[in-house]
Amino acid sequence: DDRERFRQILLEEKAALEHALVPAGHRFVATRLRSFYHPAEALQEHMGGIAYLGFVRRLVARLDTDWEEIHAALMRIRHTVVRQGGVTLNLTADGGLLARVEPAVLRLPERFAPGASSAASWPLPQPPRSEAFLVPAQVNHVGKILAVAQAGYRFHGSGLVGCKLLRTGWLWERVRVVGGAYGAFCSLGRQTGLLHFGSYRDPNILSTLEAFGAAATALRSADPASLEQAAIGVSGDLDPCLLPDAQGFAALSRHLSGTTTSLRQQIRDEVLEATPAHIEPLAAAVDRSEGCVCVLGSEDSVNGAKAHGVVFDHVERFA
């Protein structure tokens, strides 16, 4: 109930988000795109993305006039979230220490309100065809997302190999080397069924979107040697060397997502056995998917893309 302390925290949060908007724009774009297709990603957008920054700015403006309402909302959130029935505890330590601290740790939930919150639905908005957020920057962050699962793709470990092929081959050459972007990447979500393309500190928009649009052709052009090289790279990504704290976090993530040891081994096997025939279903799903686009960048770049036929359903100045 300390309004001035809350004001300080809120202003620090606002400043941190605004400071990160351009340097980490690719992450904001990726979160925004995914939020239209999956409830967990929508929640992330509202707790750390472009929508969240807009909310924080509005909250700062309301703080002096609506403090009682804001405080009541904070108390409702606390009562809803911090409940005994919703607690998951994760502790990483050596065996001897775990045995000593376990009794105290297991008593922690006793301090929370009893019971559990009921499940809530999270309706997803209709995804726009394309959005542009204008910021005072010399470069752009360009993203495109395809709901390949909705287009009939069933996740297979070879899809990760396909992403690695695109990231280290086609996108590297077209977006980074030729286009001049600092980075270009793609990712495939096993649980979301989303294929995401992105660029980082990119002077272009149109040519980058054209490169994303040619992904299916690039996947089909892969030869066995490049597939083998990509599979080796993915194997390293799947089983990196982790320090104890990272091991604990990975274990928690796998527990919450239901990622079993047998499933992880199945994905490893599918990665190592990947052939062009395994990649084809992903390429076909890319062909069938229209997807949506998000750009965070300069007004001049966005206007230039529009002049060359790129249509933005929503354009917002976000400086």
**204 plus 73 within the same structural domain:** no
Are both 297 and 154 inside the same structural domain? yes
What domain count does the chain have?
Answer: 2
Low-confidence stretches of the chain (pLDDT < 70) are none
List, for residues 15-65, the tens digit of each pLDDT value: 999 999 999 999 999 999 999 999 999 999 999 999 999 999 999 999 999
Give the residue numbers spanning the domain of 295: 130-317
pLDDT at position 1, please? Answer: 80
Is 185 in the same domain as 265? yes
Read off the tokens for 128.
């726009």
99 and 138: one domain?
no
CATH number, residue 199? 3.30.830.10
HSE of 289, CA atoms in CB hemisphere, 13 A: 28
Does 149 map to a domain? yes
Is 221 within a domain? yes
Are 42 and 36 a contacting pair, CB within 8 Å? yes
pLDDT at 37: 93
Q: Say which amino acid occupies 150.
A: Q
143 inside domain: yes
Give a yes or no: residue 298 inside a domain.
Answer: yes
pLDDT at 163: 97
Asked if the structure places residue 226 within a domain, the reply is yes
- Per-residue pLDDT at 114: 87
Domain assignment present for 44: yes
230 and 295 belong to one structural domain: yes
Looking at residue 217, its pLDDT comes to 97
pLDDT value, residue 82: 86
Same domain for 223 and 83:
no
Report if residue 90 sits inside a domain: yes
Residues 86 and 144 in one domain: no
How confident is the model at residue 106, as a pLDDT? 87
* 278 and 221 in a common domain: yes
